[in-house]
């Protein structure tokens, strides 16, 4: 894969990732934990088939059996991301969830500073402050409006970028010792753990055949396939490039929910979201420019 194809692949990945909100709004009867269970279950099934085809069943089993602690901790992080994302979507708006998720690069930078002693550039500190103001704006409007459901939903959504930050920091910490290690099965571990965790809370099942079709679409097209494509593209793209392109999921996701489900973002969400996205884009753009200059 060349650089141009990697960029096009990441754009396609963000398009697939971004359909979660609008598809979820089309469900008839499935709710909360049942949605998460079926989505994670279909994702796990698709990943087993795809990884067995791509790596071979024996190789996949050997990796799961001998992957070590890092692989399973990474899988736990994926489980948190899968579960918190869908639960948050049932509690608050698509825009709230996606903009909150966009904080992952900044949380990763902070965690790397604390745990790995990585030095943060002044621009990153500025981005953290500006993004914090944006999230506070969103939270403040929701609290003052007395809508506790949106506050809880946004708080649940915060678990997604936090888990992503832990996952990325873990991979950074072990990259030398685990050079060449296959961490892709961690995505499968996360899907299996998420399905098992939410199964007791999902019964009795209420999903219709229509719902199951949409949830299968989410598990396969919105998760399994784009995750594999993203890993392939990440081998070519730099980290700042990948971070910038990943932000397209927020734009696409809010747009689909607006056009496909009539879920127009509020003024507070638009204002706070613009601050968050602006801070992230500026930080990553400066980082990319500096990397190219070097």
Query: Measured in Å, how far apart are the chain's first and last C-alpha atoms?
Result: 23
pLDDT tens digit at each of 294 positions of the chain? 788 898 899 899 999 999 999 999 999 998 889 999 999 999 999 999 998 887 788 878 887 877 778 888 989 999 999 999 999 998 888 888 888 888 888 888 888 788 777 777 888 888 888 888 888 887 777 666 666 788 888 899 999 999 988 887 877 665 545 455 667 788 899 999 999 999 999 999 999 999 999 999 999 999 999 988 887 887 788 766 777 788 888 889 988 988 888 888 888 888 888 888 888 888 888 877 887 777
* C-alpha count within 13 angstroms, C-beta hemisphere, residue 274: 6
CB 262 within 8 A of CB 121: no
Both structure tokens of 121? 């550039």
Say if residues 27 and 35 touch (Cβ distance below 8 Å). Answer: yes
How high is the pLDDT of residue 262? 87
For the record, the structure tokens of 98 come out as: 């996606």
Cβ atoms within 10 Å, residue 50: 17
Q: For residue range 112-170, what is the model confidence (pLDDT) as tens digits?
A: 788 777 777 888 888 888 888 888 887 777 666 666 788 888 899 999 999 988 887 87
């Amino acid at each position: 894969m060349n650089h141009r194809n990697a960029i096009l692949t990441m754009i396609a990945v963000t398009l697939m990732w971004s359909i979660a909100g609008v598809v979820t709004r089309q469900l008839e009867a499935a709710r909360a934990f049942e949605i998460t269970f079926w989505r994670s279950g279909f994702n796990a099934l698709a990943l087993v088939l795809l990884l067995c085809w791509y790596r071979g069943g024996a190789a996949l089993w050997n990796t799961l059996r001998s992957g070590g602690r890092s692989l399973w901790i990474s899988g736990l992080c994926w489980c948190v991301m899968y579960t918190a994302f869908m639960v948050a979507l049932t509690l608050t708006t698509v825009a709230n969830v996606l903009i909150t998720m966009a904080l992952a690069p900044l949380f990763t930078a902070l965690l790397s500073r604390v745990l790995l002693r990585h030095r943060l550039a002044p621009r990153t500190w500025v981005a953290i402050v500006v993004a914090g103001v944006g999230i506070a704006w969103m939270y403040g409007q929701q609290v003052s409006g007395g809508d506790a459901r949106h506050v809880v939903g946004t708080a649940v959504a915060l678990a997604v970028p936090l888990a992503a930050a832990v996952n990325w920091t873990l991979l950074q910490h072990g990259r030398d010792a685990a050079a060449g290690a296959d961490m892709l099965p961690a995505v499968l571990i996360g899907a299996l753990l998420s399905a098992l965790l939410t199964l007791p809370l999902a019964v009795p099942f209420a999903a219709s055949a229509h719902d199951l079709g949409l949830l299968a679409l989410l598990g396969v097209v919105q998760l399994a396939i784009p995750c594999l494509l993203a890993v392939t593209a990440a081998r070519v793209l730099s980290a700042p490039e990948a971070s910038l392109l990943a932000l397209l999921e927020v734009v696409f996701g809010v747009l689909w929910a607006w056009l496909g489900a009539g879920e127009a973002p509020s003024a507070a969400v638009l204002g706070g979201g613009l601050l968050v996205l602006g801070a992230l884009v500026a930080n990553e753009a400066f980082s990319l420019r500096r990397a190219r200059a070097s």
